Amino acid sequence: MAATDQIRQMVNFILQEAHEKANEIRVKTEHDFNLEKQTLVHEAKLNVQDEFTKKEKDREIQERITRSAEIGECRVKKMKIRDDLLGTLISEAGAKCAVVTRGQNYPQLLQKLIVQGLIKIEENEVIIFCRGEDVATVTGILDAAVAEYVDLMKRESSVTLTPVVSLNTDRSKDLPESSYGGVLLTAANGRIKCDNTMSSRLTLVYEELLPSIRAILFPDEQ
């Protein structure tokens, strides 16, 4: 009887140990499972946050690209409008030059342009080109222009020049109407040129005054 009780006690002890061990394993397993689950959940949250951050950055980059493209497009349109306006300004100024060529003082202006051109070109043999409609006027003042040039050079440098200045006789080479008048002086078989046309003078004045013109027409760009 005593042996039986002893055996029962041993069995109960073993069962108790097994139960405690099983409970310990269960607790540890649940703990490990919960820990792993928390880790997985945390990693999933981080992945979601990273994905959201990446998408947000991509969206911001795309917005910047779109905004930059829109700004660039607006600048191009603005530049075109500005260039068109400046082009119109030049055209209107050219039209006013055409009015000058029909005035009574145009012969005197042509003479001054020829004298100035002779001073600039510094050549003894010069051919002058003009518009077809200005041939008669230039012919009428050419001798006076050469005489004025010779007199001026004699006064300034005490040198008496004998330039050979002639008017182009090939009507196919007359200056176009777009020159708005004035003259073109050439020497050395056309290798040396002095453009004293109205369009050339207008371009020089325009380039010189361009900063001021832009400041007046487009003050927001200053």
β-strands 182-187, 125-129 pairing: antiparallel
Q: Answer whether 176's CB lies under 8 Å from 188's CB.
A: no
**Model confidence at 1: pLDDT above 60:** no
Crossing angle (nearest 10°) for helices 198-217 and 2-101: 140
- Length of the chain, please? 222
> How far apart are the two ends of the chain, measured CA to CA in Å?
116
210/86 Cα distance (integer angstroms): 9
Tell me the per-residue pLDDT of 39-64, one tens digit each, with 9 for 90 and over: 877 777 888 787 878 888 888 888 88
Tokens found for residue 34: 């919960």
pLDDT at 215 over 70: no
Rounded CA gap, 79 and 73, in Å? 10
Residue matched to tokens 């042996």: 3
Query: Under a CB-based contact definition with an 8 Å cutoff, are residues 128 and 197 in contact?
Result: no
Token pair of 72 as six digits: 């660039």
The answer to whether 124 and 163 have CB atoms below 8 angstroms apart is yes
Return the pLDDT at 217: 62
More confident residue, 6 or 152: 152
Which ranges of 102-134 would DSSP assign to H, the alpha helix? Answer: 106-121
pLDDT band at residue 146 using 50, 70 and 90 as cut-offs: very high
Mean pLDDT over residues 121-146, rounded? 95
- Give the pLDDT confidence score for residue 11 in this predicted structure: 66
Q: Which amino acid is at 56?
A: E
pTM exceeds 0.85: no
* Run of H or E including 26: helix 2-101
